[in-house]
């Protein structure tokens, strides 16, 4: 089973964490499973929704795929050195993605190098202050690292994960099922195009 840690902090954006995890979990039968991964037993969203974590933060170190969600307290997260130290990630053996302000976490962890990123408009100046170039695009990936900008771009992040681990056909099947009725083909095509569809599945192991 390929395991995905959807890292979710206090103040999280529900769309960012839940869309990605829900789409990925439609592939459980094919050996791909996502878990809401939190630094505390429960976290509260930006809109007051309290959620129990399925895995502790340490799970991110052993997961095959790690997605860093965003939220209104990301700047507090990156200012908390002990908390960041609990995130031990390795792009040589893991697929690592960020959603919106999650790019700021990747920057503080030193995982981006010269790679440009995608993020949301609110987070953009803080990401740029770290010396990272921000693209005017919803999704960008280089090697084993990907970033998405805009809440609904979380579908592109999930598409990237499914395509990289199970292949394009598996991603298309998920997207076809969740797409608005009558827009199945165009929804799948757009997501696969944005996420760099095609390409062979890769083997990842923790």
How confident is the prediction along the chain (206 residues), in pLDDT tens digits per residue?
A: 999 999 999 999 999 999 999 999 999 999 999 999 999 999 999 999 999 999 999 999 999 999 999 999 999 999 999 999 999 999 999 999 999 999 999 999 999 999 999 999 999 999 999 999 999 999 999 999 999 999 999 999 999 999 999 999 999 999 999 999 999 999 999 999 999 854 444 445 43
Nearest to 69 by CA among 22, 5, 125, 139: 5
In angstroms, the CA 16 to CA 102 distance is 10
Q: Where does residue 182 fall: left (phi above 0), alpha (psi -120 to 50 degrees), or beta otherwise? A: left
Domain at 2-194: CATH code? 3.40.50.880
In angstroms, the CA 111 to CA 103 distance is 10
**pTM for the full model?**
0.93
Residue 128 CB coordination number (10 Å)? 14
pLDDT score, position 164: 97
Contact of 148 with 79, CB cutoff 8 Å: no
> Environment class of residue 91 by beta-carbon count within 10 Å: exposed (0-12), middle (13-18) or buried (19+)?
middle
Per DSSP, 70 falls in state -
pLDDT score, position 196: 85
In angstroms, the CA 147 to CA 156 distance is 9
pLDDT score, position 200: 41
């Amino acid at each position: 089973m390929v395991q995905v840690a959807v890292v979710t902090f206090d103040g999280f954006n529900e769309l960012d964490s839940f869309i990605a995890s829900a789409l990925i979990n439609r592939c459980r039968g094919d050996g791909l499973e996502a878990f809401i991964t939190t630094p505390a037993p429960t976290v509260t969203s930006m809109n007051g929704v309290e959620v129990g974590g399925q895995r502790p933060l340490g799970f991110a170190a052993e997961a095959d795929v790690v997605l860093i969600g965003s939220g209104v307290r990301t700047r507090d997260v990156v200012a908390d050195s002990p908390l960041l130290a609990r995130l031990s990630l390795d792009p040589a053996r893991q697929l690592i993605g960020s959603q919106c302000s999650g790019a700021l976490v990747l920057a503080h962890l030193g995982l981006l190098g010269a790679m440009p990123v995608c993020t949301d408009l609110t987070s953009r100046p803080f990401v740029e202050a770290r010396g990272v170039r921000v693209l005017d695009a919803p999704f960008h990936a280089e090697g084993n690292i990907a970033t998405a900008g805009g809440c609904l771009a979380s579908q592109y992040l999930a598409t990237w994960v499914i395509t990289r681990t199970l292949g394009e056909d598996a991603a298309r099947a998920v997207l076809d099922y969740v797409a608005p009725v009558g827009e199945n083909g165009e929804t799948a095509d757009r997501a696969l195009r944005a996420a760099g569809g095609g390409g062979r599945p890769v083997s990842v192991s923790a």
